[in-house]
Copies of this chain bind each other. A is one copy, B any other.
Amino acid sequence: MSTANNVAAPTRFLQVKEQRYAYRRFGDGSRPPLLFLQHFTGTLDNWDPDVTDPLASGREVLLFENAGVGRSTGKVPESISAMAQHALAFLDELRLSSCDVLGFSLGGMIAQQMAQDRPSIFRRMILVGTAPRGGEDIMHLEKPSLARHMSDPSLQGYARLQKLFFAPTESSQAAGAAFIKRLAQRTQDREPASGMEIAKAQIAAFRDWERPIGERFAELTGIRQPTLVVNGIHDEMIPVRNSYWLSANLPNAVLLTYPDSGHGSLFQFHESFTRQAAAFLGSDSAFAPY
């Protein structure tokens, strides 16, 4: 059985000083490797194989587990900035001086921070369901539209994820159910699910990220990488206006929004998303349009 997919790819470990990072690495081809940066409380097992695997054709993909999540050791940092440092340390240890990145949600914030901290690290960036520093309404699980799922005792684990990541329409919920099934395909060598402590630290990082430093959005003008910004139009976890700000303030960004979808638009429309992402990553132009 091939292991060039996120159902069977073994979890690997990388030691950097006192820190051990869990990750997966599969696929091959001549295109630059693609780093996947994961969402709030997500582990390596939360990456939809129908998103990772098509993108592992023509390039290697690297699924990274940040400090304190899954089988990565250490404490979950309470800032995006510290999470970005972990991801850079990981790439440095792998001797990867440049790659592409797909940052989803929390992962998209980390990607932005990495691009600011070390502009040479990324060639092209894909930012899905995420927000700039100074963005609004980032992962407020206490607001009514999310709290009703968070406090529903009949929803556990992936069933809750389906409600949170997909729009309340029949079509979106059906796509959510299919997504959940795909995640469950991996039965061995799984990561431990994230607990409350991880959630709390990551929420603290979101609250920090909502506070602008200096002029709001000004730092985005310095991110020159061709960028593809993607968002579900009915995202309740990180509303689409955050993606509007990203694409209006990043100097070199194409925005793509999907209808009838929420935070998990890339999973709902995985065929379209991977086709668009592959076309975007397949370009060597200095400009984002593809």
Kindly supply a per-residue 1/0 record for chain A positions 226-250, scoring 1 wherever the CB is within 8 Å of any chain B CB and 0 otherwise: 0000000100000010001001101
Kindly supply a per-residue 1/0 record for chain A positions 91-128, scoring 1 wherever the CB is within 8 Å of any chain B CB and 0 otherwise: 00000000000000000000000000000000000000
Chain B residues with CB under 8 A of A233: 247-248, 255
Chain B residues with CB under 8 A of A271: 289
* A133 vs chain B, min Cβ distance (A): 19
Is residue A272 within 8 Å, beta carbon to beta carbon, of the partner chain? yes
Chain B residues with CB under 8 A of A275: 279, 290
Docked Cα-Cα span, A57 to B254, in Å, equals 26
Chain B residues with CB under 8 A of A287: 259-260
Q: Give the number of residues in A that approach B within 8 Å (Cβ atoms).
A: 26
Contact of A253 among B254, B259, B272 (CB under 8 A): B259
* A234 vs chain B, min Cβ distance (A): 8
Docked Cα-Cα span, A248 to B234, in Å, equals 8
Docked Cα-Cα span, A269 to B253, in Å, equals 13
Is residue A201 within 8 Å, beta carbon to beta carbon, of the partner chain? no
Q: Are A272 and B290 in contact (CB under 8 A)?
A: yes
Q: Are B255 and A257 in contact (CB under 8 A)?
A: yes
Is residue A251 within 8 Å, beta carbon to beta carbon, of the partner chain? yes
Q: Are B259 and A256 in contact (CB under 8 A)?
A: no
Contact of A252 among B240, B260, B269, B273 (CB under 8 A): B260
Docked Cα-Cα span, A210 to B121, in Å, equals 46
Q: Are A254 and B259 in contact (CB under 8 A)?
A: yes
Contact of A259 among B259, B260, B269, B289 (CB under 8 A): B289
Is residue A217 within 8 Å, beta carbon to beta carbon, of the partner chain? no
Contact of A257 among B254, B258, B259 (CB under 8 A): B254
Is residue A87 within 8 Å, beta carbon to beta carbon, of the partner chain? no
Chain B residues with CB under 8 A of A255: 233, 255-257
Q: Assuming A259-B288, A272-B290, A290-B272, is B240 touching A248 (CB within 8 A)?
A: yes
Task: Please list the residues of chain A having a beta carbon within 8 angstroms of any beta carbon in chain B.
Answer: 233, 240, 244, 247-248, 250-260, 269, 271-273, 275, 279, 287-290
What 7 pairs across the A-B complex have the smallest Cβ distances? A272-B289, A255-B257, A269-B289, A253-B259, A252-B259, A233-B248, A247-B257
Q: Can you name 26 A-B residue pairings with CB atoms under 8 Å?
A: A233-B247, A233-B248, A233-B255, A244-B244, A247-B257, A250-B259, A251-B259, A251-B260, A253-B259, A254-B256, A254-B257, A254-B258, A254-B259, A255-B255, A255-B256, A255-B257, A256-B256, A258-B289, A259-B287, A259-B289, A260-B287, A271-B289, A272-B290, A273-B289, A275-B279, A275-B290
